[in-house]
Amino acid sequence: MGIILPKTKNYRTFIALLTQAGGTDVQTQTSGSLFIGKTYEITILNAGDDFINVGAPSNTIGIKFIATGTTPQNWTNASELTYNNGAPIANIKFNSIGNVWFEFSSDGNYQFKSNSLFTSYGWFIQPVSNANSGFIVLTDDTANVNFINILTRDSTDININDCFDRTMFEFRVFN
């Protein structure tokens, strides 16, 4: 009898430990170090600055990315990055999906986003209920392949912040 090999996975995966605290708090940065796991957006790009080595898929205005490093290849020309301190911070353990990011929509309402990398009815979330004195609800718009909503609520069904504390998050996009 020969060796039986496992079937090839028919999905791409994003696995991270999420932490989130506070409400909306939009900040702008034109130099310095990035915080690994935060979502940044390039809002002004000046010639010569380069963010690809810290997670940006390209050096383009409007690109959002989760920082994977602290020191951009070059950031001496005052390009501007924005970020929201209220958005979940992702300690990424594995990512075969591609460029994804998190946004703060409102208290207890966050979005996990991509540029058309999610397929309708094609995702799986590892259960993460009872995270840090709240619970988490995932919703999607099946007509939209760009995001899913992540809602954190208290026991009376009110949206609240501060529920993620190194909470395991697994997202699968089936091929």
Q: Are 37 and 66 in contact (CB under 8 A)?
A: yes
pLDDT for the residue numbered 91: 97
Asked if 87 contacts 113 with a C-beta cutoff of 8 angstroms, the reply is no
Measuring CA to CA, how many Å separate 127 from each of 38, 87, 170, 174? 23, 20, 8, 17
Q: Find all residues with CB under 8 Å of 3, minimum gap 6, and list them.
A: none
- Is 17 within the bounds of a domain? no
User: Could you list the residue range(s) of the whole structural domain that residue 161 is in?
Assistant: 96-174
- Tell me: the pLDDT tens digits for 121-175? 455 555 554 455 556 666 665 556 688 888 888 778 888 898 888 888 888 887 7
Q: Per the domain annotation, does 77 fall within a domain?
A: yes
pLDDT at 7 over 60: no
- 3 falls within a domain: no
Q: Six-digit token pair at 153?
A: 């609520």
Number of domains in the chain: 2
Could you tell me if 76 and 140 lie in one domain? no
Percent of the chain with pLDDT over 90: 57
CA atoms within 13 A of residue 43's CA, in its CB half-sphere: 12
80, burial (CB in 10 Å: exposed 0-12, middle 13-18, buried 19+): middle
In a domain, 155, yes or no: yes
Tens digits of residue pLDDT in 13-44: 889 999 999 999 999 999 999 999 999 999 99
- Identify whether residues 161 and 119 lie together within a single domain: yes
Q: Are residues 42 and 77 in the same domain?
A: yes
Q: Are residues 119 and 75 in the same domain?
A: no
| pLDDT at residue 94 is higher than 70 | yes
pLDDT for position 163: 84
Buried b (16+ CB within 10 A) or exposed e, 3-18: eeeeeeeeebbbbbbb
Q: Are residues 107 and 66 in the same domain?
A: no
In a domain, 89, yes or no: no
The residue from 84, 106, 126 where one domain ends is 84
